[in-house]
């Protein structure tokens, strides 16, 4: 059985972080995000190959994952000649498949039981199975209606309050039968949500929902990217190095000088130096070889590798890219996002 990961987007909602780093390899702590999705797929032994559908900076991704030997599963790459939309990408990547295929959106983090989804798909002899998840604010999403037997009835795109009949949304996880791909035009941008799925409903084909109310998040915005780290540190999502337990992780070869204050939960990667008088507050994530100088204060900050925070700088719940330099007495406010190689000169307020 194969799995297709739709990882070709430009990650526009995460810019400027994704200008030099494709979204699938944006780090969660010190691991590229795609590792977490592959870990989930590996829990289903019959999935023997992951097909990565790419378009944006594909070589950056292939350099990290190669043939999948290190990840523990075979990986094959399919690069779209141009952005083909979600359905177009599925057809381009899976046009020669003959058995059921698992499809994942490239920005979804979840702990769903994939084997159970596949089992439902087979029990119902479905042409397609879609995972739905409930949300607190249905008006902000496209909603999916089902009948009492879990058959898909209708898709509502961001309905008005009076039109809301359900709180379930498309979770971006599917099991599909390749014999339905013939309705997707070749090498044309085509939407799985707006065109392919409605075609199943219109033709009366067996199209069923698997409802999942466990952990699920779309990491594709700055706010959600920060939230993922906090959820792992708080044990709401189980992943290394915290694994639902430890509230503080400090690499053995990092250096925290006497007089520095480090408050958990936090993550401090290898080669990091925290000088005397510095304060690292809760939910801070420091990438490898980051330097935090004397009397600097970090509070819920995420910093990618090889950056420097100078003396007396204060950084709130912000994201700082790779190879950045924050000068002395710099102040960076909550919600700020600094792209790779940003330099803020002394006393700058951002």
Q: Where are the domains of the chain?
A: 2-221, 247-344
Q: What span, in angstroms and rounded, lies between the C-alpha atoms of 92 and 290?
A: 41
The helix (H) or strand (E) run that includes residue 56 is: none
Dihedral sign, Cα of residue 37, residue 38, residue 41, residue 47: positive
Q: What span, in angstroms and rounded, lies between the C-alpha atoms of 104 and 216?
A: 13
Burial class of residue 274 (count of CB atoms within 10 Å of its CB; 0-12, 13-18, 19+): buried
| Structure confidence at residue 328 (pLDDT) | 97
Burial class of residue 167 (count of CB atoms within 10 Å of its CB; 0-12, 13-18, 19+): middle
CATH architecture, domain defined by 2-221:
Alpha-Beta Complex (3.90)
Q: What span, in angstroms and rounded, lies between the C-alpha atoms of 252 and 210?
A: 43
Plot region of 25 (φ>0 → left; ψ -120 to 50 → alpha; else → beta): alpha
Residues 97, 178 contacting (CB under 8 angstroms): yes
Look up the pTM and report it: 0.91
**Peptide bond preceding 241: is omega within 30 degrees of 0, i.e. cis?**
yes
| Structure confidence at residue 173 (pLDDT) | 95
| Structure confidence at residue 162 (pLDDT) | 75
The helix (H) or strand (E) run that includes residue 226 is: helix 222-233
Task: Identify which of 340, 342, 339 has the alpha carbon closest to the alpha carbon of residue 330.
Answer: 342
Beta bridge partners of 23: none
Beta bridge partners of 243: none
CATH architecture, domain defined by 247-344:
3 Solenoid (2.160)
Per-residue pLDDT of the chain (350 residues; tens, 9 = 90+): 999 999 887 878 899 999 999 888 999 999 999 999 999 999 999 999 999 999 888 888 999 998 988 888 999 999 988 888 889 999 999 888 889 999 999 889 999 999 999 999 999 999 999 999 998 887 777 888 899 899 999 888 777 777 788 889 889 999 999 999 988 988 788 988 888 999 999 999 999 999 999 999 999 899 999 999 999 999 999 988 888 776 789 999 999 999 999 998 999 999 999 999 999 999 999 999 999 999 999 999 999 999 999 999 999 999 999 999 999 999 999 999 999 999 999 999 99
| Structure confidence at residue 140 (pLDDT) | 72
């Amino acid at each position: 059985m194969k799995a297709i990961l739709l990882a070709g987007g430009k990650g526009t909602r995460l810019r400027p972080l994704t200008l030099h780093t494709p979204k699938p390899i944006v780090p969660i702590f010190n691991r590229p995000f795609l590792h977490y999705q592959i870990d989930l797929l590996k829990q289903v032994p019959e999935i023997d190959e992951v097909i990565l559908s790419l378009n944006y900076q594909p070589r950056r991704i292939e350099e990290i994952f190669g043939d999948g030997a290190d990840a523990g599963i075979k990986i094959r790459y399919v690069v779209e000649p141009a952005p083909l939309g979600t359905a177009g990408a599925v057809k381009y990547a899976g046009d020669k498949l003959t058995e059921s295929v698992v499809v994942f959106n490239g920005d979804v983090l979840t702990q769903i039981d994939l084997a159970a989804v596949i089992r439902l798909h087979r029990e119902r002899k479905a042409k397609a199975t879609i995972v739905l998840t409930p949300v607190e604010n249905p008006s902000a999403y496209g909603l999916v209606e089902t009948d009492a037997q879990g058959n898909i009835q209708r898709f509502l795109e961001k309905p008005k309050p009076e039109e809301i009949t359900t709180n379930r949304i498309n979770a971006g996880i599917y099991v599909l039968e390749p014999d339905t791909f013939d309705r997707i035009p070749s090498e044309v941008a085509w939407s799985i949500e707006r065109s392919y799925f409605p075609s199943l409903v219109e033709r009366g084909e067996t199209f069923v929902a698997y409802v999942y109310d466990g952990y699920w998040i779309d990491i594709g915005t700055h706010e959600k990217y920060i939230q993922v780290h906090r959820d792992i540190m708080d044990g709401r999502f189980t992943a290394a190095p915290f694994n639902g337990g430890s509230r503080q992780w400090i690499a053995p070869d990092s250096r925290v000088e006497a007089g520095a204050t480090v408050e958990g939960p936090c993550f401090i990667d290898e080669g990091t130096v925290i000088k005397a008088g510095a304060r690292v507050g809760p939910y801070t994530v420091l990438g490898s070889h980051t330097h935090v100088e004397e009397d600097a204060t970090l509070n819920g900050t995420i910093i990618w590798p090889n950056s420097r925070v100078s003396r007396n700088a204060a950084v709130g719940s912000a994201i700082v890219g790779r190879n950045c330099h924050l000068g002395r007495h710099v102040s960076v406010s909550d919600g700020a996002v600094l792209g790779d190689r940003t330099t803020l000169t002394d006393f700058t307020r951002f």
